[in-house]
């Protein structure tokens, strides 16, 4: 998606190109067409082009209210009990490799209750062993 | 934003004449927006400084580059590349950027091409005016959003001095009296009672008087 939008009022005067302090605007003449170019990485969003355009052709609001781009999509792990989204499978793998143990996907609340249940089980087993003796 | 102004060309030329190859580095931050230190300014400066009329001997060779922000050390170290044999860097950043670049490249002289002027706002196209002095303890809550530290020549905190006349400061007819602006604004806001409140003596230790300031990120309220 382009964040720098120029509407149909543009007459190709290149006032914006001349006024851009970041050299983020340029143009090329391609056969019968003059093409205006914008470089997002260079743009300082100073709005000088918007101010100076005699045709009011630059719609700067897209640079201020732009939409979110999806840049990466990864598998997500959820809490085994309540299903709350926790962290990505790749993060789990990285952490497991670094800590040398597998992570149980539990949310903070259920991690505690799961830990308490495990402890209770461990203690009851100990008691059973003692009783047998 | 930080507003900078290009130094006189003679001063810049004098500072680079001893070098054979100089890299002009634009900054993509505040100084680009205030039209003094962006890529187009760097290109224009390179063209102008390459002219023999500024020197008695051969002019240096100027290359130009740009980095988004010169005031971040790790960012500069990672991304500011320059041609081999560069003998000096001519920075178009504010003073913070110049010093950061100098810290990153200890063996290269880093020369400022701008005078860092003030913290200001764009009041009208092409006109920036000083609005903040970074005093470290903001009083705008009580002054109708108008800073008396910056906009009153005497930094007065409790109303205008005797030099205020017809809304203007005695320093110049072109300067509005900050306290007149504050009173007018408080009237508009229906908060003229705030004008009657006395400011205690300001603690200037948060300003430059306390030495160079630093700020670390901390959790809110801690």
Q: Cβ–Cβ contacts within 10 Å for residue B32, how many? A: 32
Nearest-by-CA chain A residue for B34: A46
- Pick from A44, A45, A47, A63 the residue to mutate for testing the B interface (most B CBs within 10 Å): A44
Q: With contact defined as beta carbons under 8 Å apart, do B76 and B35 qualify?
A: no
**Could you report the per-residue pLDDT of B35-81, keeping only the tens digit for each?**
999 999 999 999 999 999 999 999 999 999 999 999 999 999 999 99
Residue A117 has what pLDDT? 79
Q: What is the DSSP letter of A11?
A: -
Distance from CA of B145 to the nearest CA of A (A): 24
Q: How far is B154 from chain A (nearest CA, A)?
A: 33
Interface test with A, best of B38, B67, B69, B121 (most A CBs within 10 A): B38
**Contact: B40, A46; criterion CB under 8 Å:** no
pLDDT along chain B (222 residues), means of 10: 97 97 97 96 97 94 96 95 94 98 96 98 95 95 96 96 96 96 97 92 88 81 49
Nearest-angstrom CA–CA distance, B28 and A21: 9
- The alpha carbon of residue B39 and the mean position of all alpha carbons in its chain are separated, in whole angstroms, by 18
Say what the pLDDT of residue A125 is: 75
Question: Counting one residue from A and one from B, how many pairs have CB atoms under 8 Å apart?
Answer: 33
When the pLDDT of each residue in chain A is averaged and rounded to a whole number, the result is: 90
Q: Tell me the per-residue pLDDT of A41-52, one tens digit each, with 9 for 90 and over.
A: 999 999 999 999
CA B86, CA B20: separation in Å to the nearest integer?
8
Contact A73, A52 (CB under 8 A): no
Residue B39 and residue A42: Cβ atoms within 8 Å?
A: yes
pLDDT tens for A2-42 read 789 999 999 999 999 999 999 999 999 999 999 999 999 99
B41–A21: do the CB atoms touch at under 8 Å?
yes
Q: Are B119 and B107 in contact (CB under 8 A)?
A: no
Residue A74 Cα, gap to closest chain B Cα (Å): 28
Measure B13 CA to nearest chain A CA, in Å.
22
Kindly report the CATH class assigned to A5-64.
alpha beta
Nearest to B67 by CA among B31, B34, B35: B31
> Which is it for strands B21-27 and B61-67: parallel, antiparallel or unpaired?
parallel
φ and ψ at B184, to 5 degrees? -60, -40
Whole-angstrom Cα distance, residue A24 to residue B33?
12
Chain B residues close to A23, C-beta within 8 Å: 38-40, 43
Domains within chain B, CATH numbers bracketed: 2-118 (3.40.50), 133-203 (no CATH)
In chain A, domain spans: 5-64, 76-132
Residue B90 contacts by C-beta under 8 Å, 6 or more apart in sequence? B12, B15, B16, B22, B23, B24, B25, B45, B62, B111, B113
pTM of the model: 0.83
Distance CA B99, CA B94 (A): 9
- Strands B88-91, B110-112: parallel, antiparallel or unpaired by DSSP? parallel
Choose among B38, B43, B125: nearest Cβ to A44.
Answer: B38
Judged by CB atoms closer than 8 Å, whether chains meet at B28 and A42 is answered as yes
**How far is Cα B42 from Cα B64, in angstroms, rounded to an integer?**
6
Q: What ipTM was estimated for this complex? A: 0.78
Q: How far is A18 from chain B (nearest CA, A)?
A: 9
Q: At what angle do helices B39-49 and B9-16 cross, to 10 degrees?
A: 70
């Amino acid at each position: 998606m382009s964040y720098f939008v120029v509407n149909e009022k543009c007459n190709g005067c290149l006032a914006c190109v001349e006024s851009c302090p970041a050299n983020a605007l340029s143009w090329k003449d391609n056969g019968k067409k003059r093409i205006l170019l914008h470089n997002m990485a260079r743009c300082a969003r100073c709005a000088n082009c918007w101010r100076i355009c005699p045709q009011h052709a630059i719609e700067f609001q897209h640079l201020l209210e732009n939409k979110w781009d999806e840049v990466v999509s990864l598998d997500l792990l959820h809490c085994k009990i309540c299903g709350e989204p926790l962290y990505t499978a790749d993060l789990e793998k990285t952490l497991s490799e670094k800590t040398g143990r597998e992570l149980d996907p539990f949310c903070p609340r259920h991690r505690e209750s799961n830990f308490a249940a495990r402890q209770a089980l461990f203690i009851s087993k100990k008691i059973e062993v003692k009783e047998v003796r | 934003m930080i507003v900078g102004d290009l130094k006189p060309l003679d001063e810049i030329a004098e500072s680079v004449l001893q070098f054979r190859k100089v890299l002009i580095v634009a900054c993509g931050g505040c100084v680009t927006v205030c039209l003094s230190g962006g890529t187009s300014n760097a290109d224009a400066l390179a063209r102008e400084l390459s002219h023999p009329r500024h020197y008695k001997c051969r002019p240096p060779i100027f290359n130009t580059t740009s980095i988004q922000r010169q005031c971040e050390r790790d960012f500069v170290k990672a991304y500011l590349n320059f041609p081999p044999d560069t003998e000096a860097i001519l920075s178009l950043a504010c003073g913070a950027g110049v010093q950061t670049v100098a810290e990153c490249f200890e063996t290269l002289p880093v020369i400022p091409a701008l005078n860092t002027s003030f913290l200001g706002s764009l009041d009208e196209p092409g006109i920036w005016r000083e609005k903040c002095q970074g005093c470290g303890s903001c009083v705008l809550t009580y002054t109708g959003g108008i800073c008396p530290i910056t906009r009153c020549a005497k930094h007065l905190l409790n109303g205008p001095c005797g030099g205020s006349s017809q809304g203007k400061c005695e320093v110049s007819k072109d300067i509005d009296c900050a306290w007149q602006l504050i009173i007018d604004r408080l009237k508009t806001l229906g908060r003229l009672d705030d004008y009657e409140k006395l400011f205690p003596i300001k603690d200037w230790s948060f300003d430059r008087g306390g030495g160079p300031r630093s700020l670390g990120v901390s959790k809110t309220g801690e």
